[in-house]
Structure 1
Amino acid sequence: MKEVKKQFCVLWCFLLLASATVAQVSKPVIGVVFRKGTSTRVYNATVYNENKRISVSSDHFGLFSIMASVGDTLIIEAEGYTGQKVPVRNFKDILVYLTGTNLLAEVKVTATTPRQNLKEVEEEFRKKGIYYGGKPPLGLLLPFGGSPLTFFHELLSKDGKRARRFNKYAKAELEYYDISARFNDANIRKTVNIKDEELEEFKKRYWPSAELVRGWNDFDLFDYIKRSYKEFTANRSTTAP
């Protein structure tokens, strides 16, 4: 019996040691810094790990990568924005939204469109040997006419992994840009007599898909807004007390 208790104590101590070791594992944590309420990426924001006392800056597309362990706290700050503390609960990607303190002190962001930004960043990846966004075609493995080295570099390298993360965020931003370029406050107000207090709720309820917007001409856009607003006001009248 004593031997069993001894083995149990040894096993319990081993599990505690193992869990403590796992908790201290450090890995790169990837994140993106946005201006709150927009799809604008914040350039040159400082990301500081107060536990490990290391810091990095976000790049031209708002991306950053910093070593961290579960339980660490990241402090994200930028000129013209209110700083934010973000606890590291796991190693999943982090989305950070900073609130601007005033319009005159905004952090520098690229003045180009998301598509221009995308082309610029893709060009930077090409300089590092990433030509397929980190998702190389299987044809590169062919013995004749292929390029196995390129395939494995894109698939396994840090630059390849970073390119895949970048493309995931870039796709979402491009979709938002395409939609907001057509379905925006100005076009809605021009089409229907909407009240200011209704605008945000209306956009939230009837925000169209990027695929739908890309197939619209001006008539389709205005027709969608009119039909949607008619339904919106009808629903509000039936639910009003």
Structure 2
Amino acid sequence: MKFSKFATIQIILILISFGLKAQDFIVKGVVFEKGSNIRVALAEITNQRTKIGVGSNDLGFFQLKARVGDTLLITKRSLTDQRIVIHGTQDILIYLIRESTMLNEVTIIGNTKKQDLEDLKRDFKNKGVYNGGKSSFLSAIFQPLNGLYNLIGKEPRNARRFGRYADNELQQSQIDVYFNQTIIKNNSELRGDTLEKYMLNCRPEFDKAQYWNSYDYIKYIKESSKKFTDTLGKGK
């Protein structure tokens, strides 16, 4: 029995479709508050098939392993839960609705930590402090007064000090997206005071964690929390 070209193409498309459904990939998305377009930080996104969850970062971004047909549950305090079915590998936009009981009580005017730090940097620049309080070789030649000011002025010293602080805060914010109580509780048996001690003593260093994705963090949490628990047991 001979198949027509059309039937052959249909069979190929069906096989491809089944292949996509069985294949895991990284889905990326952004969480917004509907009606205001404020990006929602620290929303929890959980794949209901794998039970693995991640948190959105300061800019509302997240990434999570999934496959076609999976359902993502997105939750955030004071916002209505949302469920999204994955239909393909394209990026997704998620809009959470603020609970009606909160609308008349709270007005949200939100800047992320990154925005706050950038605003402070602009304040230093407006005061005449350029390049974070550091003078380049060319600026010292063509703008000698500014170069001298950047070397001896009080504000430049503050700018350099703030620059170091801002860099560290942004680095720690990146770690907080995945190394937080919600994700640690979902992937370990740690609770209460023991959880707090673990988060203090086993926080990953940025030099190592800056290249990690959510699965690297989960692997680290599972391994390090077990070692931490074993160490506590030996100390008894």
Q: TM-score, normalised by structure 1?
A: 0.48
Q: TM-score, normalised by structure 2?
A: 0.49
